[in-house]
């Protein structure tokens, strides 16, 4: 069974859409609808507006620990970092985990998107 889609509830579509548009485009997703992106593997990510006054991780509140993506080369990881910086977003440091490296980007709600490289 393969992953079909992820739904991410965000506090503000207006704030989060530009961030996800930049990030997802840099890691191989193409926008297919107003707030939905898909990749060549058939995985879709859908952003939805959280309901006001909901707590984090409630049914209609914002939440997700993190999404992890694997960059096929270290150069591509650096290209994603450069692209996010060029789009005006904060770019955290690269972290080393043994032989692998990762950057944990934070969206406007603080949810993390990990881009890793495993040699």
Give domain limits for the chain. Answer: 5-117
Q: What's the pLDDT at 66? A: 77
> In the predicted model, what is the mean pLDDT of residues 60-79?
83
Q: How far apart are CA 3 and CA 102, in angstroms?
A: 22
* Three-class SS of the chain: CCCCEEEEEECCHHHHHHHHHHHHHHCCCEEEECCEEECCCCCEEEEEECCCCCCCCCCCCCECCEEEEECCCHHHHHHHHHHHHHCCCCCCCCEEECCEEEEEEECCCCCEEEEEECC
Task: Report the b/e string of 6-36 with b at 16+ CB within 10 A.
Answer: eebbbbeeeebbebbbbbbebbbbeeeeebb
Q: What's the pLDDT at 59? A: 63
Q: What's the pLDDT at 80? A: 95
Which two structure tokens, joined as six digits, stand for 72? 């096929």
> In the predicted model, what is the mean pLDDT of residues 91-112?
90
What's this model's pTM, rounded to 2 decimal places? 0.75
Dihedral pair phi/psi, residue 5, rounded to 5°: -160, 160
Strand partners, 100: 97
pLDDT of residue 60 exceeding 70, the answer is: no
CATH for 5-117 is: 3.10.180.10
Which two structure tokens, joined as six digits, stand for 70? 């694997």
Q: What's the pLDDT at 101? A: 94
């Amino acid at each position: 069974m393969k992953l079909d889609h992820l739904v991410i509830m965000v506090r503000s579509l207006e704030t989060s859409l530009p961030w996800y548009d930049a990030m997802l485009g840099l890691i191989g997703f193409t926008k297919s609808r107003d707030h939905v992106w898909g990749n060549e593997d058939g995985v879709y990510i859908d952003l939805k507006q959280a309901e006001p006054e909901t707590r984090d991780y409630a049914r209609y509140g914002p939440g997700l620990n993190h999404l992890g993506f694997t960059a096929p080369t270290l150069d591509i990881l650096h290209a994603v970092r450069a692209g996010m910086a060029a789009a005006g977003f904060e770019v955290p440091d690269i972290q080393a985990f043994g032989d692998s490296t990762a950057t944990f980007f934070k969206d406007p709600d603080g949810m993390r998107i990990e881009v890793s490289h495993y040699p």
